[in-house]
Amino acid sequence: MEFVKEFATFLYQNRIIKFGDYTLASGKKSSYYVDLRLVPSFPHEFRTMIKQLQNDIAENIGLDNFDSLVSVPTGGLIMASALAIETVKPLIYVRSKPKDYGTSKSVEGKIYEGMKVLMIDDVATTGGSVVNAIKSLKEANIKITDVYVIVNRMEGADETLKEQGIKLHSILNVVQITQALYEQNLIDQKILQKVKNQIGN
């Protein structure tokens, strides 16, 4: 797929994906680091990514099959905001912890009981942060069956969300990215194998 090849190259050339030894927010060690918060600094590629996300959702879920988009600050919220503008869909977001002032809400935006949402996030690793957000949504009687991410790191998020009755979708996964880079001689076999070993592939 042309998008995978071009987008993987863009990520690598702009050091949005880097290979080496990294420690993730969870404390887990990783042979690569992907920081999609850099993508909005490149408007053309950012728009291409959002359009790809929009087309994927339209094809796999249908834009009429949910009432609102939902995200979690900050990485995913930037993607969801751009997508909401493109699709003319309402947007709400879930705070990582409720405000300790004002209305003390954990879900921000116009919500109503029984509404169906589609969650957007930037990257999925184990699915932990998404599960916390889903809990807040369910407490507010908001229905959610699907989550969309830009990059699936393939380290357990699919299984974690499946246990919650949620399906994880992605427009890219880390094997597709590294395979595309390897095929273009941008990374060597050793790096590709390290990534595959990390996800137990």
Task: Please name which of 149, 166, 180 lies closest in space to residue 52, comparing C-alpha atoms.
Answer: 149
Question: Dihedral angle at the C-alpha atoms of 108, 109, 113, 114, nearest 10 degrees?
Answer: -100
pLDDT along the chain (201 residues), means of 10: 93 96 83 95 97 97 97 91 97 78 74 95 87 90 96 92 94 96 95 91 62
User: What does the block give as tokens for 101?
Assistant: 């002032």
User: What does the block give as tokens for 85?
Assistant: 């503008």
Task: Please name which of 51, 57, 83 lies closest in space to residue 70, comparing C-alpha atoms.
Answer: 83
Whole-number pLDDT of residue 101:
54
- Residue 5 CA to residue 70 CA, distance in Å, equals 28
Whole-number pLDDT of residue 201:
62
> Strand locations in 15-90, DSSP E?
17-23, 29-34, 68-71
Whole-number pLDDT of residue 32:
94
Whole-number pLDDT of residue 129:
80
- Residue 9 CA to residue 16 CA, distance in Å, equals 10
Whole-number pLDDT of residue 69:
98
Whole-number pLDDT of residue 103:
54
Report if pTM > 0.85. Answer: yes
Whole-number pLDDT of residue 100:
54
How many structural domains does the chain have? 1
DSSP 15-71: TSEEEEEEE-TTS-EEEEEE-GGGGGGSHHHHHHHHHHHHHHHHHHT-TTS-SEEEE
Find out whether 80 and 71 touch, Cβ atoms under 8 Å. yes
Non-local CB neighbours of 60 within 8 Å, separated by 6+ positions: 169
CATH of the domain at 182: 3.40.50.2020
Non-local CB neighbours of 110 within 8 Å, separated by 6+ positions: 68, 90, 92
Q: Is 149 helix (H, G, I), strand (E, B) or coil?
A: strand
Q: Which domain holds residue 118?
A: 2-198
